[in-house]
Every structure is written in structure tokens, then in C-alpha cells.
Amino acid sequence: MEEKKLIKVVCVEDEPEMIDLITLILGRKGYEVVGAHGGLAAFDVILEHKPDLILLDLMMPDMDGWEVYQKVKADPELNKIPVVVVTAKAQSIDKVLGLHIAKVEDYISKPFSPQELIHSIEQVLAREKEI
């Protein structure tokens, strides 16, 4: 029987509880989740694990999510990894900036439902396969 490769997701978040919640939600769906506590740790974790997808919080005290995003997109080894922003910055201007200016793959506002998170990830990964 062929072993199915686990889809690896790096969750960049400054709140450990949120990493735990996302790990629980995605773990039930068979995803492997690696947490990165804060923006400074994020780049090293992403570089080490080279995930299939990055969940990225924007508001973090040490380095904000946009800085992390720019570092990832500037790195030739990492710039093809899709990024989904998961943030409490829910104003429509933030969403427009994220989706249309920065070109993140999706934008989820906190609080979100487990279904919303899974639906977003599945859609983004399906689009990536088509490319």
C-alpha cells in the first residue's frame, strides 16, 4: 500500500493557544502542523520544514507577518509556498491589501470556524496542484 504523504503546514502565530487550536483542527484532517512562535522564529522554521502551506498571523510583537511574508517571497527556495493570512485585522482594506497587493493565496479573519480554515486550505492546495 502506498503511503500518503502528509501535507505539512507551518502555522506562524504569537499565541501558543492559537497554534494548538489550529494543530488540533488540521490534525484531525490528517495535516502535519509545525508551529512557529512569532515572526522572528518563523523564517527559520519555514526554511527547515519547507511546508506545503504557510498560515501567517499579521500582528506579532517581534516581527509582523508582512515582514515574514516578504522574506519568504524573496527566498528562491521558499517563494512558491502558498501563504494564507489568518489574522484579527479584519478590515476590508487589510483584506484588499493582502489578496490584491501582496498576493497572498487567501485571507481568513479571526475568529474563524474550523470549516472555514479547512475549506480555505483545501481550496488553496487544489489551486496549487493546477498550476
DSSP H or E stretch at residue 106:
strand 106-109
Q: pLDDT, tens digit, for every residue of 38-60?
A: 999 999 999 999 999 999 998 88
* d(C-alpha 86, C-alpha 82), whole Å: 13
Which CATH superfamily is 8-130 part of? Response regulator (3.40.50.2300)
**One-letter amino acid of 6:** L
| Share above pLDDT 90 across residues of the chain, in percent, rounded to a whole number | 65
By C-alpha distance, which of 38, 43, 49 is closest to 14? 38
Q: Any idea where the domains of the chain sit in the sequence?
A: 8-130
Mean pLDDT over the full length of the chain: 89
Q: pLDDT, tens digit, for every residue of 103-117?
A: 788 888 889 999 999
For residue 98, is pLDDT > 60? Answer: no
